[in-house]
Structure 1
């Protein structure tokens, strides 16, 4: 990066952090630290909810996912608006009326303490791991830019985020996220315009989409009902609905965002704002990845996008073999550009036969390129047996740093940092608040002072930050980070959601029945996941239904047992 890019990056981050610290001054108790004194307006709630979900993983992995496999991931969010409506009707008014700090306090009031602890523990496990993945994502940026091992950059990023979160609490996180989302949305629009601008002079936005569509990259909608297909309309509407309902309704990292609302109306408005904006926002992020693919039809892309591994093999005993593969790759891409020219000329002349022939030739060359990629992967594996071959997370980063003008590179990288700071800070804050309220305050120190609980919150924030940082050091083995986070959530969210739905709607079921049903549900979900018999989004539905049905059965058997005893 240039000096100007570093200046843009540094001052953007400095302004955000300084603003958050300024807004969080004067915190005296856990009411201010955990729920921001419940005084935030609806637009702040809405942007905070969006920023918590839109981590650096979103801006790194989503364009790479679209580049590699198209826009089908957009269907993942189809159930989100429906989930927001259900939350506004059911969850929000109950949580506000009870004036709770965490969602799990409600479960003790409804069931018993063991159900509360079990659910809180499930949350702590999955959120602690996923927060580590969130920290790892932006460390890829520094690793690629500074040519450092990703371990060192992970430690650097994690340390900064931990210190910032320990200081600020929820109020700092929420106010900071307000500015973050404004900068992020503006930068994304700029990035989309820049990608189109970088296309050849005679190629416009629609031409780029047409080329991408012909090669199967704009496949945003799939109506087939296939349990093994990860992304279809049905997995998005059904599985995605249950995942989003559980994430926004029972995950403290999100519940904590809308508990800061000054009223039920403000919390509802914030959630509805998220439901309306999130789907088009994610669609646009994926579209940027598709446009990057179109750009590389006219320019030779890297055969492998992780610069650290490329630099490593260029200095190894396999350097000459690598050079031969790259030479074939460049020659192949020259032929692909000729195919594109033929396709565009035939399209202009409305010659469907020649147009189809050119596309088939292009697809054939793409397959040859895939074979070259496989040869390179074998070479990388020989050179470094521990190499991570999934480089989706590096695609958009590589494109930005190699093509964008000075200044804009720094801004785009700042956006990814801001997204990471917002999501990570919110997650660590929620882990600490759950630990303090549901475990420390409930069992260890029941009669502590406000100052004591505030200090405990800061201590646990620091400890959870360290745990997440340790997880981040192993996150490179998880492949595409966006999918890894959602798979992890799907292993737990269905069960947690089932517990809450029983609490809200099945008043006859008691705590003991739902407690054991939740444990059995987790066992069932993990067995299904390990056997790989269905797409991971369906695990949310399976977990939820299993908890409801088994708890109902247990309660029924318990009643019959009592009757027979009498």
Structure 2
């Protein structure tokens, strides 16, 4: 059983509808603040949902159920850290961002240290965000390749991947290009509603397909220890433990939500500092619900396939949920779920395009062309958005040979996050750190994270903790040993 015309109609209707909806926000943006921050007109609840959508990609929806299918619920330990990290960002970073008229996170670094460090942090963000996003965009190919296998039967796997990625990238570019941040946030709200609704529909569909319903699912899952949440062991080499989750997850969120333009741009779009904090903290509650739902789907799929083994064994856990959707869901519902997974892809991609474009223009072009007009900057922002879309398309193709897409994506992002967070902490928590010292610390922290990633078996959950600690300690020590030229 595969997708039929009804399913395809649902998918096409979604792709068309969300693109047209995004185009409703097309207008003549006259300033960078209007284009990149929606002129601070977005309510906190919409920003909250947009934050959730921005950090939820296709790889999240297909990989998290796979984690529960293969292992258990220990991933939730990381989510506990996410909640703690949000509280720290609300207390430590958001007040700093609302002290001035900022458009990007890295303008704060210039106000504290100087232009050189601002360029370095912004450049590091561009490189690592693009690399991580390439992995996320590739996840689209996994889903579409399975969903449209009958229509794309005459193509090679490489050609199918290119086709899938191209469709989603092009449609997302259309409304991101035209509508700017307003289009991104409001389409995020719609797309979040679609993929959460689709996942809930999947939940009840699996219950219907398993003889005995929840009672059977619960019995099988409990016997296989699928509902285990806490692991109190202490090891740098075990990915999901209470300590790596609470500590590593908190540091990861402090970096991703406090220094990464992808999220910071949404926080800066709020009407006030208070609403920005409300948006961030409430998004943590939504994330906890969402990941619990995805993990529960994975445990339920384990129970289903325990009763009805697949004809061909799964070679990677990332494919389990999409394969189930295509082969066992009723027609129409399967189309809705595929559309839901694509919704997450488009939401994340639009967020990445807008944040990459804003950093490129505000942190680099405006410095080089300070006398350029606002109209010229907005026009160039649209062109840069297209350029990043093309580059992410190419990077997604290169990402085809990666491992589990969720952990590969998180690992790439975590390598840079440690150095970025360490620099921001130096700026916010100390008055004696200098620009030169901070740059030395940042380089050392980044190299340490790279070493941990490439040459050790240390879990990615510790990269940000160790990288930021090294950046902070070495940066502060170097500042003490060198003449200070930049202080506040």
TM-score bin (small chain): over 0.9
Is the counterpart of residue 264 in structure 1 residue 266 in structure 2? no
Aligned to 1:29: 31
2:233 matched to 1:231? Answer: no
Alignment pair present for 1:40 and 2:36: no
| Alpha-carbon distance in 2 for matches of 1:204, 1:406 | 21
Q: 1:497 aligns with which of 417, 421, 430?
A: 421
1:301-450 matches, cutoff 5 A: 301-305=310-314, 391-443=316-368, 445-450=369-374
The match for 1:167 among 171, 178, 189 is 178
Q: Which aligned pairs between 1:280-295 and structure 2 lie closer than 5 A? A: 280-295=289-304
> Which residue is 2:261 aligned to?
252
Unaligned runs of 5+ in 2: none
Q: Once the two structures are superposed, what CA deviation does each residue of 1:436-479 show, in whole Å capped at 9, x if it has no partner?
A: 00011112x11111110001101111111111111100222112
Please state how far the C-alpha of 1:45 moved relative to its aligned partner.
0.8
Classify 1:303/1:212 alpha carbon distance in 2 versus 1 (closer, same or farther; 3 Å): farther
2:452 is equivalent to residue 528 of structure 1: yes
Deviations 1:323-379 (A, max 9, x none): xxxxxxxxxxxxxxxxxxxxxxxxxxxxxxxxxxxxxxxxxxxxxxxxxxxxxxxxx
Counterpart Cα distance in 1 of 2:313 and 2:273: 50
- Measured after TM superposition, the shift of residue 123 of structure 1 is 0.6
The CA deviation string for residues 295-349 of structure 1, in whole angstroms up to 9 with x for no partner, is 01111214344xxxxxxxxxxxxxxxxxxxxxxxxxxxxxxxxxxxxxxxxxxxx
Matched, 1:541 2:468: no
CA distance, structure 1, for counterparts of residue 353 and residue 389 of structure 2: 6
Query: Would the aligned equivalents of 1:45 and 1:266 in 2 still touch at CA under 8 Å?
Result: no
Structure 1: where are the runs of 5+ without partners? 306-389, 561-566
For 2:48 and 2:402, the matched residues in 1 are separated by 30
* Structure with the greater alpha carbon radius of gyration: 1
**Partner-residue secondary structure (3-state), 1:219:** coil
Show structure 1 runs of 4+ deviating over 4 A: none
**Secondary structure at 2:92 match in 1:** helix
Q: Does residue 481 in structure 1 map to residue 412 in structure 2?
A: no
Match of 1:466 among 390, 402, 406: 390
Contact 1:209 1:218 in 2 (8 A): no
1:102 alignment partner, SS class: coil
Residue 255 of structure 2 contacts residue 417 of structure 2 at CA under 8 Å; is this kept in 1? yes
Measure the CA separation in 2 of the matches of 1:483 and 1:247: 15
1:195 aligns with 2:120: no
Shift of residue 533, structure 1, vs aligned partner: 4.1
Shift of residue 90 of structure 1?
2.0
Checking the alignment, whether the CA contact within 8 Å between 1:304 and 1:391 is kept in structure 2 is no
Match of 1:213 among 218, 222, 238: 222
Contact 2:210/2:216 (CA < 8 Å) preserved in 1? no
Size of the aligned set, in residue pairs, is 474
